[in-house]
Structure 1
Amino acid sequence: MRHAIDLEWIDRNPVVDVEKLTGGEYEPWPEDKLKAFEAECEEASVERIVYELAIGTGQRLGDCISMKWDDFDGEYMKVVQEKTSAKIQVYCPTRLQRFLETVPRSGTHILAKNPTQHMGKRKVQKKVEAIREAIGVLSGTNRLVPHGWRYTAATQLADASVDMRDIQAVTGHKTLSMVQKYTAQANQTAASRRAQTAREQSRNETGKR
């Protein structure tokens, strides 16, 4: 629009002073909702496969859909992140390794549409939406979205006291500030526990004197 003004095609920029929309933050999925999603899925269904890939590798939904069998060597998953074009290798936890052993191979992609193409993102999203609706997280105050699985992976790593740079090696974020955004809740929770535990220990020691 600024360029259009420079060319004298328009005399004002219609997007200037438009208030920024306020939106909610993505949330990691709580443990009970993760279990509910798993229970609602059939074994090796599309929605269960993309869920396991997302939780296991910490990658975005679109990157999980693009994963090929050749990308997985039994331990590591090669990923070319669509958003950043970053090329990374993510070690897959034992749970994901074992799960992938149970998934039938019907094409070059793990989520195969046909022998050479992966499934469309919208089709996968629709299948996931059906499960989200069934467990009550599709809309309203309890709404949870698939991108939250990426937050879940980062949060679980933070809860395990994994160093931020190691978390970054899993998620593929280019900056530590983004990792910090993903793990802030877990870090705050852990820090509050350390602080309150130290407080109790200090008061107990004082009381013994």
Structure 2
Amino acid sequence: MTVYEKAMATTKPTVSKIGADRIVPRSIRALAIAYYDSASFKALKPITQGVYRNIIDRFCREIDHAGRACGDKSAVTLKPNHVEKLMEARAAKPDSANGLRKVLRAMMQVAVKLDWREDDPTLSVRKIKPKKRGGFHRWTDAEVRQFEAVHPIGSKARLALTLGLYTGQARQDVVRMGEQHINDEVLDWIRMKTEDRTGLKLAIPVHPELRRIIDATPSKHLTFLVTELGAPFTAAGFGNWFRDRCDEAGLKHCAFHGLRKAAATRLIDAGCDVVEAAAITGHASLKELQRYIETRDRRKAAMRAIDKLISGTKVANPITRLAKQEKTR
């Protein structure tokens, strides 16, 4: 599985050796190639390498107002105000802006080591703080039913939805899951974290509904989910594919990551505490999990709280006890 995962995550550089002679010396694109060959890039997990490549390659293909590709611009003359303008152009999508800043910083560190420049122009540039921390939309029960009505049992889309809801894992984890990871109806899993190289070991009991959907979905592969060509999904490719399945169901505002929020919320609504819920979702930080469940149905939580209060009153019956004590006195 280790070899298999590396093979599915590894991608080739955008620039081939055939076109190497057309690369502008000490340009952003030339620096990108040097960065891909650096020890710092090779030390990253394969999935992180793929994410960084996508960000860098998209940036290199961007065309500025003068009609010039950003990849052809000089990496030597890049200044803090240039980076700030790039960030401002992505202000509507803070994660995208901060992601570009992060990879540019890694690239500039390589440029300094190569003596292309003496400073890192990203150091004085701050992150863009999102205005709202709501993040991805959490799927409601009605939206889940709407998706299920369009994608029946036995379809790959239905299996993807169910894996998201009953494992609480992100897309980079779900695309790697297969029957071989299940022992005695427990999914033994090491969560794929972008920044955490050690991973987090989980033991997720297989919900009966998840087992029913898995058994009803034909598969002859090591992973539950594969492309139309029978190849394993990349995390980004799966995200785009699932985006199309949501659109087919009329759920343009929903995304796969929203299922992770829905899974966490369902666990809390079922009466689990945050520690129990984190044992399924794999959140290392309870603060992060708390952010996930902020959008839960507070009406349900309030009703459950009152039910517990009523139940506790019946058991303790403090009013009756106090009345008896007054008569005795």
After TM superposition, the score normalised by the length of structure 2 is 0.51
Superposition pairs for residues 15-54 of structure 1, below 5 Å?
A: 16-18=124-126, 20=128, 22=130, 24-54=134-164
CA distance in 2, matches of 1:121, 1:46: 16
Partner of 2:243: 129
Of 92, 106, 116, which aligns to 2:206?
Answer: 92
Unaligned runs of 5+ in 1: 199-209
Superposition pairs for residues 162-173 of structure 1, below 5 Å?
A: 162-173=272-283
CA distance in 1, matches of 2:184, 2:226: 19
Superposition pairs for residues 1-209 of structure 1, below 5 Å?
A: 1=105, 9-10=117-118, 13-14=121-122, 16-18=124-126, 20=128, 22=130, 24-73=134-183, 75-83=185-193, 84=196, 85-112=199-226, 118-138=232-252, 143-186=253-296, 188-190=298-300, 192-193=302-303, 194=305
Quick check: 2:191–2:201 contact (8 Å CA) kept in 1? Answer: yes
Cα offset, 1:63, TM superposition: 0.5
Cα offset, 1:180, TM superposition: 1.4
Larger Rg: 2
Superposed CA deviations along residues 17-45 of structure 1, whole A, max 9, x for unmatched, are 45615265123101111111111114322
Q: 1:59 corresponds to which letter in structure 2?
A: Q
Cα offset, 1:146, TM superposition: 0.7
**RMSD of the TM alignment (CA)?**
3.3
CA distance in 2, matches of 1:52, 1:77: 14
Q: Are the structure 2 counterparts of residues 12 and 76 from structure 1 closer, same or farther at C-alpha, using a change threshold of 3 Å?
A: closer
After TM superposition, the score normalised by the length of structure 1 is 0.77
SS of 1:25's partner is: coil
Q: Are the structure 2 counterparts of residues 132 and 70 from structure 1 closer, same or farther at C-alpha, using a change threshold of 3 Å?
A: same
Quick check: 1:44–1:102 contact (8 Å CA) kept in 2? Answer: yes
CA distance in 1, matches of 2:171, 2:120: 39
Quick check: 2:138–2:295 contact (8 Å CA) kept in 1? Answer: no
Paired residues, what number? Answer: 194
CA distance in 2, matches of 1:146, 1:131: 10
The 10-residue stretch of structure 1 (31-40 or 72-81) with the greater mean CA deviation from structure 2? 72-81
Cα offset, 1:12, TM superposition: 6.7
Q: 2:186 corresponds to which letter in structure 1?
A: Y
